[in-house]
């Protein structure tokens, strides 16, 4: 397949396009878990968690050191990082809970916390780019090949997304979370412990951020400043799908992830994020509340 770009004729193979599509889906699914966590916090507290990506960054560092120092299996990193970051999320609830319903206050507080976490990571671990040594095996499917690490990330991200959907829609706790997000006063009048539900929800969201960090570090370098990039990308996906919508976060993540990776086959890959930003702006113009916002 031939493509004219900026007056230059380049050949794009179907294999390259399919590979870009697959990688876009995989990264979109992983970002979906992060975006869903951000939307859960927004839905339950009405707060935009600007520090969310920094917990992903801390998860990346935690996984890096556990793999490097103790040779922990990547599969085991998933429950380990979740159990580490779940109680951190409980503590974090106490900090951002004071900004309940105050959008400006939540942005200022979480931005300050993001700056603190970023600089603490730089002081403790330095600003070097780090990546653990994890064996990578190429798995072939017909004319396509994919790394076992990308396959692991895709499987885990899909399992987490499905598990979250079932938890939120089928369990009593999930129903309580949704009820609290829709009307906290009405939920409280029905006997739901609002404070406990909010603490649990933020704990789950931060725990999932840690898990995503342990997966990200398998394919990306970690450094103290990676968190802000993750936050901006995930926030963009949340807004595209609709703030407060779990389904919207998933769909928005897939749209941005696929668009950025596919565009990398046509334009310099460093410009691919611009495509996602253009989609973000177009959807905001057409639907200011996002695709599934209400």
pLDDT digits (tens, 9 = 90+) for 218-254: 999 999 999 999 999 999 999 898 887 888 899 999 9
Q: What is the pLDDT of residues 2-30, one digit of tens each?
A: 443 333 344 456 777 788 888 889 999 99
Q: What is the pLDDT of residues 177-192, one digit of tens each?
A: 999 888 888 888 888 9
The three-point CA angle 35-40-44 to 5° equals: 150
Q: What is the CA radius of gyration of the chain?
A: 19
pLDDT the model gives residue 290? 85
How far apart CA 96 and CA 199 sit, in angstroms, is 10
pLDDT the model gives residue 7? 37
Q: What is the percent of the chain where pLDDT is above 70?
A: 91
pLDDT the model gives residue 2? 41
Query: What φ, ψ does residue 139 adopt, rounded to 5°?
Result: -105, 130
Query: What φ, ψ does residue 153 adopt, rounded to 5°?
Result: -60, -45
Residue ranges, the chain, pLDDT below 50: 1-11
How remote is the C-alpha of 141 from its chain's centroid?
28
Which pTM does this prediction carry? 0.90
pLDDT the model gives residue 100? 65
pLDDT the model gives residue 217? 93
Are 54 and 227 in contact by the 8 Å Cβ rule? The answer is yes
The DSSP line for the chain is -EEEETTEEEE--HHHHHHHHHHHHHHHHHHHHHHHHHHHHHHHH----TTHHHHHHHHHHHHHHHHHHH---HHHHHHHHHHHHHHHHHHHHHHHGGGTT-HHHHHHHHHHHHHHHHHHHHHHH-S--B-------EEEETTEEEEHHHHHHHHHHHHHHHHHHHHHHHSHHHHHHHHHHH-HHHHHHTT--HHHHHHHHHHHHHHHHHHHHHHHTTTS-B-TTHHHHHHHHHHHHHHHH-TT-HHHHHHHHHHHHHHHHHHTTTS-GGGHHHHHHHHHHHHHHH-TT-SS--
pLDDT the model gives residue 294? 59
pLDDT the model gives residue 206? 96
pLDDT the model gives residue 193? 92
pLDDT the model gives residue 164? 92
């Amino acid at each position: 397949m031939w493509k004219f770009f900026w007056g230059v004729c380049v050949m794009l193979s179907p294999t390259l396009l399919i590979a870009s599509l697959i990688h876009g889906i995989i990264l979109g699914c992983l970002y979906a878990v992060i975006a869903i966590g951000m939307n859960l916090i927004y839905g339950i507290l009405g707060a935009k968690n600007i520090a969310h990506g920094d917990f992903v960054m801390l998860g990346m560092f935690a996984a890096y050191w556990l793999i490097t120092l103790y040779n922990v299996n990547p599969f085991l990193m998933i429950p380990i990082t979740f159990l580490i970051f779940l109680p951190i999320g409980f503590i974090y609830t106490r900090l951002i809970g004071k900004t309940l319903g105050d959008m400006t206050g939540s942005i200022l507080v979480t931005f300050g916390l993001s700056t603190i976490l970023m600089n603490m990571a730089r002081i403790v671990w330095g600003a070097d780019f780090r990546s653990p040594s994890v064996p990578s095996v190429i798995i072939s499917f017909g004319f396509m090949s994919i790394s076992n690490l990308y396959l692991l990330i895709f499987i885990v991200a899909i399992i987490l997304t499905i598990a979250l959907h079932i938890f939120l829609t089928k369990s009593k706790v999930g129903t309580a979370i949704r009820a609290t997000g829709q009307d906290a006063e009405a939920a409280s009048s029905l006997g739901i412990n609002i404070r406990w539900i909010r603490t649990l929800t933020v704990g789950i969201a931060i725990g999932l951020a840690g898990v995503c960090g342990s997966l990200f570090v398998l394919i990306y370098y970690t450094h103290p400043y990676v968190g802000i990039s993750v936050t901006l990308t995930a926030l963009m996906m949340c807004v595209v799908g609709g703030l407060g919508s779990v389904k919207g976060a998933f769909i928005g993540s897939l749209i941005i992830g696929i668009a950025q990776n596919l565009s990398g086959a046509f334009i310099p890959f460093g410009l691919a994020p611009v495509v996602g930003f253009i989609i973000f702006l177009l959807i905001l113009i057409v639907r200011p509340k996002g695709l599934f916002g209400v």
